[in-house]
Amino acid sequence: MNPKEIAAQQAVQFIEEGMIVGLGTGSTAYWAIQQIGQRVQAGLHIRAVASSQSSEDLAKQAGIPMVEFSEITSIDLTIDGADEVDDQLNLIKGGGGALLREKIIAFHSKRFIVIVDESKRVEHLGRFSLPVEIVPFASNLTINRLTELDCKPQLRLDNGKEFVTDNGNWIVDCKFEKILLPQELGAQIHSIPGVVEHGLFVQMASSVVVGYKDGSTKILS
């Protein structure tokens, strides 16, 4: 098993009968969805919501019953990946472009378990470019303002055209030096009109399951 699969396997054990489960997005969340599917096939009754169209498609293929957001008031447990995790369990997310839906789901979750391989652990956030979702309208002005926050912003492209999120927006990947004050930086980014959401998840994770190459896992909380 690879470290992502091992971390996913450990996290999926926290799912209990009857729960509403939030499904993350990305190559680590993929393994969680597969393993939740196996538990459902083995008789576990849960209902799930997904943080992206791709994860919803995967969940349906895996036989996981989905529930409409209009039918729920909260989510019991969400399992999702991350691009970076620091020692305070702050995260950078959005490498897959699903950060807005991921943050909405994480915010409404009683428990938010993050699954990563060891390569995602950092002392300070910022090695990975911070994804920021912006509306396409006047995007050059929004991007100019992001530059003023001492980062190098790059509009994300997909086959030479703007990458479009599930919400019809664009992503700007912002390369910062070390992000020492993620809460403050997040507030500054949010203050720019045109920004929809950013990929800093500050003090949102309940715990982080780290998978290692030797097959072991460690739970940070």
- Annotated binding-site residues for substrate read 25-28, 80-83, 93-96, 120
HSE-up (13 A, CA, CB side) for residue 77: 19
30 versus 44: smaller Cβ distance to ligand 5RP:
30
Instruction: Reduce the DSSP state of residue 187 to 3 states and report it.
Output: helix
Q: Smallest distance, Å, CB 86 to ligand 5RP?
A: 15
96 versus 186: smaller Cβ distance to ligand 5RP:
96
Q: Smallest distance, Å, CB 127 to ligand 5RP?
A: 13
Distances (CA, A) of 133 to 77, 139, 161, 165: 25, 11, 16, 8
44 versus 82: smaller Cβ distance to ligand 5RP:
82
Q: Which of 56, 102, 133, 197 is catalytic?
A: 102
Distances (CA, A) of 206 to 25, 110, 134, 158, 163: 18, 9, 27, 33, 30
Q: Smallest distance, Å, CB 156 to ligand 5RP?
A: 11
What residue ranges bind ligand 5RP (CB under 6 A)?
24-29, 80-83, 93-99, 102
55 versus 142: smaller Cβ distance to ligand 5RP:
55
Residues 6+ apart with CB under 8 A from 20: 46, 47, 48, 49, 67, 72, 74, 75, 76
Q: How far is CA 26 from the centre of its chain?
A: 8
- Residues 89, 24, 194: CA angle, nearest 5 degrees: 80
Active site residue 177: no
- Indicate the annotated binding residues: 25-28, 80-83, 93-96, 120
Q: Smallest distance, Å, CB 106 to ligand 5RP?
A: 10
Residues acting as catalytic residues? 102
